[in-house]
């Protein structure tokens, strides 16, 4: 009887040349720079998980042509209500459950904004908005692990996934020339607000800007067949479908409709 030869690599999954044409990206920019509109141009059904209730006046134009579903959360917006730790825990757990359901049915999922999602998860985890320095590293790893898990779920599926991030002032240690003491001060730079390693977890980094009525997108890191060719390039008036075709040159506009 012939002896069965077991490959020493049997425990591993062999890499293939198969591609999943989808966009998993963070969109970073100031208020009004076109981030939400860009993602509303993605193919539907779209599920938007939002905490700031800021879609009014934007979503209506796109809702006429595609299925867009909005998931909102109780963060104390009712008159007479306050945003308590208990309310944050309920909102976080609903957010996770909604995301898991969307991964199974949506073609595009958008977090508008990841900045607010991270703040919600922080409050739910620690019971305070000011946990920096108060919580040990293992607790921060547990918090970030919940968000990393959801990003990994999106990667394991076929969905497009957009994580919208606002910007905040950067604070760095600065030495007072007169006293010699070190204290935190603003560097003058604007940096993404939210979980600090989102840019490393997504496939593509997008920086949105607006100059008057002109909207532009600068592509940072970008994975995909055409991704390398558009890194560090700035495009004016770029739509979701146009970006997708640049990253996946063998696709057409109809593939992203």
* Structural domain spans, the chain: 42-160
* The predicted structure's pLDDT at residue 134: 59
Average pLDDT along the chain, 257 residues, taken 10 residues at a time: 83 90 97 96 97 87 94 89 91 97 98 94 82 65 94 97 95 84 87 92 98 97 96 98 97 95
Alpha-carbon span 104 to 158, nearest angstrom: 9
Bridge partners of residue 214, in order along the sequence: 211
* The predicted structure's pLDDT at residue 179: 85
Bridge partners of residue 16, in order along the sequence: none
This prediction's pTM: 0.91
Helix axes 85-105, 137-156, angle to 10 degrees: 20
To which H or E segment does residue 37 belong?
helix 35-40
Residues whose CB is less than 8 angstroms from the CB of residue 130 and which lie 6 or more positions away in sequence, other chains included: none
11: left (phi > 0), else alpha (psi -120 to 50), else beta? alpha
SS3 at position 256 = helix
Q: Say how far residue 66 (Cα) sits from the centre of its chain.
A: 21
* The predicted structure's pLDDT at residue 130: 59
Which residue from 204, 207, 206, 176 is spatially nearest to 190, judged by alpha carbons?
Answer: 207
Alpha-carbon span 242 to 105, nearest angstrom: 24
* The predicted structure's pLDDT at residue 1: 64
CB–CB of 182/173 below 8 Å? yes
Alpha-carbon span 49 to 147, nearest angstrom: 14
* The predicted structure's pLDDT at residue 92: 96
């Amino acid at each position: 009887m012939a002896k069965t030869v077991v490959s020493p690599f049997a425990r591993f999954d062999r890499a293939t040349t198969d591609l999943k044409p989808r966009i998993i990206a963070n969109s970073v920019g100031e208020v009004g720079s076109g981030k939400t509109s860009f993602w509303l141009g993605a193919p539907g059904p779209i599920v938007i998980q939002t905490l700031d209730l800021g879609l009014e006046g934007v979503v209506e134009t796109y809702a006429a042509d595609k299925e867009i579903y909005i998931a909102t959360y109780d963060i104390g917006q009712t008159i007479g209500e306050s945003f308590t730790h208990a309310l944050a825990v309920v909102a976080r757990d609903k957010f996770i459950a909604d995301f898991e359901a969307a991964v199974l049915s949506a073609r595009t999922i958008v977090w508008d904004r990841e900045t607010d999602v991270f703040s919600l998860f922080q409050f739910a985890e620690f019971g305070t908005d000011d946990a920096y320095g108060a919580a040990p590293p293992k607790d921060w790893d547990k918090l970030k692990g919940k968000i990393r898990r959801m990003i990994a779920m999106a990667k394991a599926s076929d969905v497009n996934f957009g994580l919208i991030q606002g910007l905040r002032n950067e604070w760095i240690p600065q030495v007072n020339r007169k006293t010699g003491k070190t204290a935190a001060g603003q560097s003058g730079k604007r940096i993404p607000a939210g979980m600090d390693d989102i840019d490393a977890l997504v496939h593509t980094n997008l920086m949105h800007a607006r100059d008057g009525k002109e909207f532009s997108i600068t592509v940072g890191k970008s994975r995909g067949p055409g991704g390398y060719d558009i890194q560090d390039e700035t495009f004016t008036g770029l739509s979701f479908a146009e970006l997708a075709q640049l990253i996946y040159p063998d696709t057409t506009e109809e593939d992203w409709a």
